[in-house]
Structure 1
Amino acid sequence: MGQRASSGNSAITQQRPATLQRRHFIIFAAATILYWSSMYIYVPILSPYLQDRNLSMAWIGFILGSYGLTQLLLRLPLGIYSDRMSRRKPFLIVGMVASLGSCLLFMLPGGWEAPLAGRLLAGICASTWVPFSVLFASYYPADQTQKAMGTLSFLMVSGQFVGMAASGLIADLGGWNAAFWTGVAISLIGTAAAIFIREPKQPSPSSKAVPNTVFADTSEVLRSPRLWMFAILSLLAHGILFITMFGFTPLQATQLGASEGQLTIIVAAFMIPHAFISLISGRSLALRFGTQRVIVVGFAAAALFTALIPSSTNLWWLSLTQALNGAAQAMYFPLLLSLAIRGFAPTQRATAMGLYQSVYSFGMFLGPYLAGGLNSYGGLKAGFWFGASLGIIAAIISSGKSLRNEQQATF
């Protein structure tokens, strides 16, 4: 009897960590989806909304890109500070609050000032994705980083899809501001969810060792050639993304006659295959075909389908280009994310992620900013062709020896 009771207690003890881990994952997943939904609830309507406020193409491009400018400035310092504090969770809560403020600013009347401030504040929110990513990776063993980043990419894309899919319908029913008010509500719920996220305890170095340790760790990360290679590839990747679905593709749709509600079709066409391929890119495609091959094919395909966007003569043709483009771009995003932090110690990961995300944030800014300028002279096709050229450059870089030498992760 005693042995049976002991055996029962042992079984409960063994089951409890799995139960707790499942609960922590569910809370983190909910917070992640809410986090991205709050920022992307207005993305499909943003360029038409700014045009409705009588802003020029150049101003629209600058405001769209300012989201990346804030991240360029903040993500690396935030990553270093997070590593030094050995804390991640407080930054998540700050990010949710920043998203709330962003949505409120977009509703203020006037010219370019309030939308620019709102987009800059959204960039502050997105900058907290650095500790967000590292915290989620800490839930997995070190040899399952690629699996963790694939799952996280799927959650991120799911949150973006939920927000973007609802955006057009909400704006169609209640006007532009209805989407922004929905973002406020999502941010409030997300803040509450973030409070309950579990952060595993990390050993902190002694106070005397902290300055030297932090300096040495930071210096080692910043001098990593492989990290810079992946960061530059991600810069080009985000330039394409923020020129297309997160930039001027919705404007292309409205010029073809799409209503706010019909923008949901365009969003779904891109985001559904994007979410699915994000989930299997690291788990299946890279294992079967090789990491380098998947990345090269992804960039080449993204270049092709981006170049075809201005050839769309109706919404169905545009939806097809978006479905193929969404799948193509999802082939490389999770792989680049996991490769960026692979090989770094836990105390270096936020710094590595901060550098990686700071560099690709420049692509978020520069891509739509330059495309907006080109659009002013050559129409939307000029910006999309520029985006396609970024994909070609990235495919060429990815086909080099440096990426070929990368070892496949263990799953």
Structure 2
Amino acid sequence: MDTQIRRIHHIIFLASVFCFWLATYSYVPVFSLYLESIPFSYGLIGIILGSYGITQVLLRFPLGVLLDKLVTLKKHFYVGGFVVAIISGFILLLSTSFVWILIGRLLAGVTAAMWVMATIMYADYFRADQTGKAMGTLQFATVMPQFISMLTAGLLVEWMGFAIPFWVGIMTAFIGLILALSVKVVPNERRSSVNGSFRSIIRSTLSVKKLIPITLISLFTHALLFISIFGFTPVYAGAQGISEGAMVWVMVAFFVPHAGASILVAVMNVAPQVEQRLIISSLLFTAITFFCMPLATELFSISLLHAIIGLTIGIVLPLLLSQIASLAPASLKTSVMGFYQSIYAIGIFIGPYLAGFAAEQFGLQHVFTLAAIISFLAVGIAVLTRLRERQQQLTDASKTKKLNHH
């Protein structure tokens, strides 16, 4: 960590992150209802909603590789993300044509792709052994604007119409732009530009140990988020007769433990072995809870189960982010983070598509059965990774023993 980093630098950075996600999520809770009111078919709505994930998949890894070559431009791209958010907001506000709204939402995905730079820049504010603290703090700054938008977007629309959440996004992006320009970048001597071709950087990135399993677990975990709370939870709750107003309690039940878990990860400096156990047990609890969800038909039971899921996913995501941030050599950090975020973004658009198919074929409640199966797949990968790690440790120990013996 740079000794020049003071509390004010943390405050400015985290405030910019808060604006970054509020600008991106301000209208998300009512966006599908807005598209329905235009009116668009469910097919077209699905294409527009999915496009947000597609641009992230396409951009995050190439950006990561590029910025390991052009180290000094990270802040420029982060600032650029806010400019794109403003343009995206105005397009969504002023147009009702399918093509323009699709472009506006694709641009929102471009903004979200700039998150790669933010995670690496903020990790530089901390010592190498404090990545858990850094990523837990960032996760909290991500969750809070999502939570606020989930609570307020519906009310804002009821009071003042569909335009207001878009205006909130635009104004927040303007504030975020000013804050981002003030963000301090840590000059990291260890992180000089990578030599070699883009192909060699990609090859080096993909050969980083444990990158693939951690990324796959994150892909499945993000799919769970976008199947449930950012996807079909409101639809399922509505089908059980829960009103729009009462839905706030489900959101509170999910997001309060979700945010609390992020703080917990930030405060506790968890040992790597404990991290693995926490990830496995949290995913196991997530799977069991999703299996129970079709039995929940009252506001209380739906809220209670969502509180458990909010807590368990809230533990898993910052721990995965922390592992990724501390996984790579300094010269490849942005490439590794870019790959990780590109691939998990697949879960953001594949999750809702699969859930929509499951709802049509088997009934709405089986969206959660699908989520439970996905959770078990994530548990399987986490367990296999842990077993392989232990096997490697035993092999290394026996080799060392033999060498010492000779």
- Give the secondary structure class of the aligned counterpart of 1:380: coil
Asked if the contact 2:12/2:182 (under 8 Å) is kept, the reply is yes
Q: Indicate the residue corresponding to 1:93 in structure 2.
A: 79
Please point out which of 9, 23, 28 is paired with 2:13: 28
CA 1:205–1:104 in 2, change beyond 3 Å: closer, same or farther? closer
- Write the mapping of 1:216-255 to structure 2, written as runs, cut at 5 A: 216-255=200-239
Tell me the residue number matched to 1:169: 155
* Matching of residue 187 in structure 1 with residue 173 in structure 2: yes
Residues 234 and 204 of structure 1: CA distance in aligned 2, closer, same or farther (over 3 Å): closer
Identity %: 36
Shift in CA distance, 81/243, structure 1 to aligned 2, threshold 3 Å = same
Q: 1:98 Cα deviation (Å)? A: 2.2
Residue range with higher mean Cα deviation, 84-93 or 42-51 = 42-51
Q: 1:301 to 1:205 in 2, by over 3 A?
A: closer
Once the two structures are overlaid, the 10-residue window that deviates more, 188-197 or 294-303, is: 294-303
Q: Is the 8 A contact 1:95 1:124 kept in 2?
A: yes
Amino acid at match of 1:182: V
Q: Give ranges in structure 1 of 5+ residues lacking alignment.
A: 1-15
Pair 17,339 (structure 1): closer, same or farther in 2 beyond 3 Å: closer
Distance 2:376 2:43 in 1: 25
Give me the CA root mean square deviation.
2.8
CA contact (8 A) 1:171 1:179 kept: yes
Q: Name the counterpart of 1:82.
A: 67
Residues in 2 aligned to 1:292 and 1:205: alpha-carbon distance in whole angstroms: 28
Query: What pairs with 1:4-403 in structure 2 (closer than 5 Å)?
Result: 21-86=6-71, 87-108=73-94, 110=96, 112-203=98-189, 211-212=195-196, 216-258=200-242, 260-281=244-265, 283-284=267-268, 286-287=270-271, 290-402=274-386
Q: 1:399 to 1:355 in 2, by over 3 A?
A: same
TM-score calculated relative to the size of structure 1:
0.86
Question: Contact 1:150 / 1:280 at 8 angstroms: preserved in 2?
Answer: yes
Note the C-alpha offset of 1:403.
Answer: 6.5
C-alpha contact (below 8 Å) 1:309/1:384 kept by paired residues: yes
**Alpha-carbon distance in 2 for matches of 1:177, 1:189:** 19
Q: How many residues align?
A: 389
TM-score for the superposition, normalised by structure 2:
0.87
The 8 Å contact of residues 171 and 260 in structure 1, kept in 2 or not, is answered as no
> How far does residue 72 in structure 1 lie from its aligned partner after superposition?
0.6
Tell me: CA distance 1:67–1:238, structure 2 relative to 1, closer, same or farther (3 Å). Answer: same
Is the contact made by 1:299 and 1:391 (CA closer than 8 Å) also made in structure 2?
yes
Q: In the alignment, residue 237 of structure 2 is paired with which amino acid?
A: A
CA distance in 2, matches of 1:271, 1:335: 17
Task: Please list every run of 5 or more consecutive structure 2 residues that lacks an aligned counterpart in the other structure.
Answer: 393-406
Between the aligned partners of 2:305 and 2:41, the Cα distance in structure 1 is: 26
